[in-house]
Chain A
Amino acid sequence: MRLVRHVKSRPVLPAPPASPALVNSPLHRFATLVAGCTVLLVLAGSLVTSTGSGLSVPDWPTTYGWNMFAFPPSKWVGGILYEHGHRLIASTVGFLTIVLAVWLAIQDPRRWMKWLGAAALGAVIAQGVLGGLTVLFFLPASVSTAHAGLAEIFFCMTVAIALFTSPRWIEGVGSREHLENIALRRAATTTTVLVYVQILVGATMRHTGAGLAIPDFPLMFGHAWPTHWDPKIAIHFAHRVGALVVALAVATTAALVWSRGARGTSGKALTRPAALLVALVVVQITLGALTVLSRRDVWINSVHVVCGALVLTTSLVLTLRTWRSKFATMTVRGDVRLKPDATTEATAATRSVRLQADGTTGARA
């Protein structure tokens, strides 16, 4: 029995031609490095919260009056190690993002990629300011949660840039027939949104001190349902319910991926992230349970945060690949931008594009 009966497939689009001119391996490797460093940054940030070190450096942007980069390593003691370390890693990622944005602006011919690089730079700057504000205002839950939420968005941007600069993406892998699955597209997109919402709920729980508001697991105060309520219990409960919702969404998306019989190189573009996503969700729920059972062990708690970010970005990669064929219309060749004609949506046989360079008239491709 098929899990989803009313899977509607869009008409088959021919794979967009490879654009070797767009392939820039050094840029892709650098974008991947930035994304990797962002994982470290998320870990460092989660350690700051898990160890309660958020205010161990009371000033910002200075560190105990020193220029941040001149603060003596001999004074990196106690909570300062985590907070100051987080600031230094954040500064490094910020610098790398500047390089990435400039590199994209200079060498990537896709205009939207230049904007994406600029947006990532703007996000990392805003993220730094939010981090400073949360210190100066003694960690208000709203600012700290916004800091955590923007961190995930920035991480998503770096992963997306790494994906968009990858040779396989540029060569059009993942844009073939079986990816033209609207149900899968919707499921993957919904899953990504749900994961992000779940992370926001988790961040709210974390920054309002509700991590152990329900102290037992899998039961809640010894029952299947909380026996009493307050705002912290409600947030904690929402995070547990959110975990179930995300697990169901991931299972549905994964089932859709496999139910389409994805095979070959293009198929792996979906099955691999889908498999990884399922595995990460299992690990993530386990870590969440252990966080409660271990009374918020610092490392378990922190890895739980990192794993959540990996669930989000894996889901994002899967989602973007289901949308790959749409991106084909955003590809540029030299100075010419291609955009589908309205008829493209209705007719698969012909693919109409309008040359928009200098506002010239439409043409058939």
Chain B
Amino acid sequence: MRLRNMWVSALGLTLAASMVACGGGSKETSAPADSSAPSGQKVDAATAGDVNGVVSFEGVAPKNEPIKMNADPVCVKENTTPQTQETYEVADGKLANVFVYVKDGLGAYSFDTPAEKVTIDQKNCRYHPHIFGIRVNQTLEILNSDPTLHNIHALPKGNTEFNTGQPIQGMKTEHKFTAKEVMVPFKCDVHGWMNAYVGVVDNPYFAVTDKDGKFSLKGLPPGTYTIEAWHEKLGPQSTMVTLGAKETKDANFTFKAAAAATD
């Protein structure tokens, strides 16, 4: 009987080991990409809370600059409606395309780098998305969905500058930013109107406001944080939020037209 129990136990251990080795049974579809990730304090999901907020725009927003795509017939063909820049996306006083993130306060917490790729697509001679976030060392996939050529030129200050040509439709290239930097501008030197910004951060607490100006930072551990909101023309604003266990707090921002006018 004892021998039989030993065989059953051995079989069970073998199966368990196999499942772990093959990834079976794991709920984690995004295993850490970086096995040498820092081994700091981990967030306890049981005590984590959220920070939600709305970014408002006060006053009359400047008109977005119209885009002339005459320089490339392909771009003209792909855009049958008048195109403008996405600088001021304001609806009912709410401001979209604002990058919001936890700038400070996470102390000794560490976060594994996600294995999922973040994609920026060059489609209809525009960047999609226009504003987005990525983690340090997370893979950025750059895709050209257009039947014309693009160069994607990143102009970071703290990371390595790169300028990659993508002459063929469907081409993909990958890149990783190795240092946090808010924000890294992208531009296409072929099509001067194309621009985008990526916020490179070292934590998972970031978001871009939607058309209603809303954002949500979920799963924050208890603590006091500096939350920053960044707009491509209006610059950054920050506020402090203290979050207790399982609390949900609001952090709202208001950008003013005066700041836009002095730009």
Contacts and interface: CB of A to CB of B under 8 A. Distances in A.
A59 B77 CA distance: 27
Chain B: interface size category = 10 to 19
A208 interface: no
Interface string B161-187: 101110100000000000000000000
B21 interface: no
B73 interface: yes
B71 interface: yes
A359 interface: no
B142 interface: no
Interface in A27-85: 51-59, 64-66, 75, 77-81, 83
Nearest to A53: B189
Interface stretch (B43-51, B59-67, B81-89, B145-153): B145-153
A56 B151 contact: yes
A57 B167 CA distance: 10
Nearest to A137: B161
Given A65-B167, A138-B163, A54 B189 contact: yes
A317 to B, nearest CB: 37
B156 to A, nearest CB: 11
Contact of B165 (A52, A53, A59, A78): A59
Given A56-B151, A58-B151, A78 B191 contact: yes
A56 to B, nearest CB: 4
A55 B188 CA distance: 9
B78 interface: no
Nearest to A135: B163
B165 A77 contact: no
A58 B166 CA distance: 10
Judged by DSSP, the binding face of A is loop
B24 interface: no
Contact of B192 (A52, A65, A75): A52
Nearest to A52: B192
B165 A65 contact: yes
B148 A56 contact: no
B167 A55 contact: no
A79 B190 contact: yes
A210 B263 CA distance: 18
Contact of A58 (B74, B163, B191): B163
A138 B192 contact: no
B116 interface: no
Contact of A138 (B71, B73, B74, B161): B161
B190 A80 contact: yes
A78 B74 contact: no
A55 B153 contact: yes
Interface of B: 71-74, 148-149, 151, 153, 161, 163-165, 167, 188-192
19 contacts: A52-B189, A52-B192, A54-B189, A56-B151, A58-B151, A58-B153, A58-B164, A58-B189, A64-B165, A65-B165, A66-B167, A77-B72, A77-B190, A78-B72, A78-B191, A79-B190, A80-B149, A138-B161, A138-B163
Given A52-B189, A55-B163, A78-B190, 6 more contacts: A58-B165, A66-B167, A75-B148, A77-B72, A78-B71, A138-B163
